[in-house]
Chain A
Amino acid sequence: KAGVTQTPRYLIKTRGQQVTLSCSPISGHRSVSWYQQTPGQGLQFLFEYFSETQRNKGNFPGRFSGRQFSNSRSEMNVSTLELGDSALYLCASSATAAYNEQFFGPGTRLTVL
């Protein structure tokens, strides 16, 4: 069974631009979560989607947004990029509701210049 896939794997942008990252969950998984990992702040929760609905959101500014499609694929968007947005963005999927193991994708490494 294929794992969680994320595209692109690496991305370089400049300040002020916007970026869209994509995540395809494991087949049959309906919950998709996004996390940001930086050396300074560690791993931080961005948001979680289930059946196209955002169920939880972390403490990030409104420049960070996401959505989920009917096939459970998810995208996250960051507008007006700042240098501090440089990070590894990880997507995780789980089968259905809570208490399920989350499986992480390889991540997208975003560098903002």
Chain B
Amino acid sequence: ELKVEQNPLFLSMQEGKNYTIYCNYSTTSDRLYWYRQDPGKSLESLFVLLSNGAVKQEGRLMASLDTKARLSTLHITAAVHDLSATYFCAVDIGQGAQKLVFGQGTRLTINP
């Protein structure tokens, strides 16, 4: 059974600091997605990573994918309060039809 594990599950950090969220998965896949969810809201797509070595950046967030290590990272640079949210990674195992398996989510709190 596919497992997608995020680490850490809870993260409290100060503004201005850098940190990394890790997403490990247990099956072969070269399609990984990162989403953000604010309390009481739906999921907002952040990054789509479709190949080994893929790296994408948007503002203070950067995501990467290492399919050989079955690992994706979401790096936060110089955190600001607005980035407080829960972040999910999801692996697509649909084999031609989409079927996402999500990690548990990382609840990120950024304190002034």
CB distance from A109 to the nearest CB of B (A): 9
Chain A proximity of B76: nearest CB distance (Å): 21
The answer for the CA separation of A98 and B48 in the assembled complex, in Å, is 12
**Assembly CA distance A31 to B33 (angstroms):** 17
CB proximity to B under 8 Å, residues A25-71: 31, 33, 35, 42-45, 48, 50, 55-56, 58
Report yes or no: A48 in contact with B98, Cβ–Cβ below 8 A: yes
Whether A90 lies near B48 (C-beta < 8 A) is: no
Among the listed stretches B18-26, B38-46, B61-69, which one makes contact with chain A, having 4 or more residues with CB under 8 Å of it? B38-46
Interface string of A92-103 (1 = CB under 8 A from B): 101001111111
Please tell me if the beta carbons of B96 and A97 are within 8 angstroms of each other in the complex. Answer: yes
Would you give the shortest CB distance from A26 to chain B, in whole angstroms? 12
| Residues of chain B with a CB closer than 8 A to A101's CB | 33, 45, 48
Q: Does B52 contact A (CB under 8 A)?
A: no
Interface residues of B (CB under 8 A from A): 31, 33, 35, 41-45, 48, 50, 88, 90, 92, 94-105
List 25 contacting pairs A-B, 8 Å CB cutoff, sorted by A. A42-B102, A42-B103, A43-B90, A43-B102, A45-B99, A45-B100, A48-B99, A55-B97, A56-B98, A90-B42, A92-B43, A97-B96, A98-B31, A98-B95, A99-B31, A99-B50, A99-B92, A101-B33, A102-B33, A102-B100, A104-B43, A104-B44, A106-B41, A106-B42, A107-B42
